[in-house]
Structures are given as structure tokens and as C-alpha cells.
Amino acid sequence: MPPKTKVADDADPADGGTTEKREYRVEALAKGLRILSLFDEQRPSWRVTDLATAAGLPMPTVYRVVQTLASEGYLDHLPNGDYRPGVRTLTLGSAALRSLDLVGVATPKLQQLGESTGETVNLAVLTGDHVLYLVRLRNSDLVTANIQVGSTLPAVTTSIGKLLLAHLDDDDLRSRITQESFQAQHGPNAKVSLEELSTELEQIRQQGWAMQDEELAYGLRSVAGPIEGAAGRVVAGVNLAVQARDWSTQRIVRELRPTLLDTCAEISALLSGGHA
């Protein structure tokens, strides 16, 4: 007879096996994942003492976890004593991104967009009050921050971010965007409060596209369009990023916006099971 599946004595069938799942939880692994999750764009390297404080774990526990992660290639030990994500972490991240249907469906269309315009193309989604870059096809002439796949930027200063914020309901918007969301380094035309940004978000919602005019950084402009999923919900955004010295806002709207929106519509049709 096949062996019986072990189920906790106090498991309640009505809770979907929640008690059983807790029984098989590996606390050491959970602690390791909690520590890895602390590394991000704003804090790419940490000392063990700071990790212990941020994770709320005892110093000896964090030291053992960090040493284990480093020995397996998930953390690198820097000469100054800090730790940063290692190659194994990057490999996992790349595999996760490649597995996303959105990235697989969108990339050929984004490549065509980049080739036809000669400008930098980005695909990003909203995470908290930031946008996370899933695809970046960079024009070598574009001078901007060192943005790459996996980078995050404040949503309030990016064209994709403003586009995605415009499609949130008021409660979700205000839970994500606080005054701290406007504190990061930004360009000369950045909005400084949600009240100031709200009028533009309403306009974006009505017109179906967004622009960033030297709000992220001096000399950088971009225009973004929406990607819709199967239910017609906006799930991501695509933008074309250009040099302000070469592209006025009027020229962007006239020459780049139509091509961008056509590409977004094609990707959206593919995601919903249609044909582009």
C-alpha cells in the first residue's frame, strides 16, 4: 500500500490545510529569505549587524544565515565587511523574469519598437510606490541613471509610474503614495506632493498615456502607454525614453506616442489571447 500523507492531528480540513503547511515550514529557510529580501536598489549592501537589526533576529542567527548564503553563492562578502547579493541571486532573478508571460510576449514587440524609433524602450510594473523594470532595451546615446532589469525607481517621477498610478482607485493610491514617496532625488520638474500630482493623474487616466518631462532627471523625457491583461486591467507600462535636447514634448507626442500606443495595443492583444 502507498504510504499515507502525514497530516497534523489538529489540521482543520476547512482551513485548506493551513495547519499542515505550518508544520512543514522551515524556519531557517524563512529567516534566510527574510534577510535576502532586505537587499534592494536603495540598500544594495549591508553589514551583518544592520541585517540583524532590520530583520529583527538575533545576531548569532543572522551571522550563521549570512555565512550559509555566502557559501552557496547567494551573497558576496565585500572587502569593507559588507555583504551584497551574489551571482546565484541574480541567476534566480533572471530565471523568474524570463518565466513571466508578460516578458516573453512583450519582448519581440519591444525590440521592434526600439529598432523603429532608435530610442530606449522600457517595460515595468508597479510595486508599492516604485516601478520595477522587467525589460530595458537601451539606446547607447541615452545619458541617464544606471537603470537595468530589476532596477526600481519612484513611481511619482516616471512616466510608467504615473501611468500605473492613474489606474489605481483612490484608496489604493493613497495607501501606496505618501509624502516619503516624493523624497528621492529627482529632476527639476518633479511633483512634490500627491495633491499636486492628482490633477495630472486624472488627465492621464482620460487620455490613456503619460509623459515625464525632466521629472526623473535633468535632460530626460519619456512617454508611456498601458499594457492590459486578459480582464482589460492595466498590468504594466511601456515607455520610450529620450534626450530632452533632441525631443521637445510636442515632437514626442506627435512622432513617438502613436507608435508606442500601437505597440502597447499589440502586446495587450497577445496577452488577452488575441492576435496582433
The structural domains of the chain, ordered by start, are 13-89 (1.10.10.10), 100-271 (3.30.450.40)
Integer Cα distance of 276 and 271 in angstroms: 10
Q: Which amino acid is at 33?
A: L
Read off the pLDDT band of 276 (50, 70, 90): low
pLDDT value at 17 more than 60: no
Q: In whole angstroms, what separates CA 200 from the centre of its chain? A: 22
When pLDDT is cut at 50, 70 and 90, the band that residue 9 belongs to is very low
Could you tell me the three cell numbers for 112? 521592434
| Residue 222: pLDDT over 60 | yes
CA atoms within 13 A on the CB side of 156: 27
CA dist 156 and 170 (Å) reads: 15
Looking at residue 4, the DSSP 8-state letter turns out to be P
Average pLDDT over residues 156-184: 91
| Nearest-angstrom CA–CA distance, 266 and 112 | 12
pLDDT tens per residue across span 21-77: 556 778 888 888 899 989 876 788 999 999 999 999 999 999 999 999 999 888 989
Burial 104-122 (b: 16+ CB within 10 A, else e): ebbbebbeebbeebebbbb
**Is the confidence at residue 88, as pLDDT, over 90?**
no
Residue 4 pLDDT class (50, 70, 90 cuts): very low
Identify the pLDDT of residue 14.
43
Alpha-carbon distance of 110 to 159, in angstroms, equals: 17
Please give the Cα distance from 162 to 169 (Å, whole number): 13
Residue type, 127: T
**Which of 208, 238, 215, 213 lies closest to 120, judged by CA?**
238
**3-state DSSP assignment of residue 28:** helix
Mean pLDDT over 183-211 rounds to 91
> Range with the lowest mean pLDDT among 3-12, 44-53, 148-157, 168-177?
3-12
- At 98, is the pLDDT very low, low, confident or very high (cuts 50, 70, 90)? low
Asked if the model's pLDDT at residue 13 lies above 60, the reply is no
How high does pLDDT run on average in the chain? 84
Q: Which of 37-41, 99-103, 173-177, 220-224 has the highest mean pLDDT?
A: 220-224
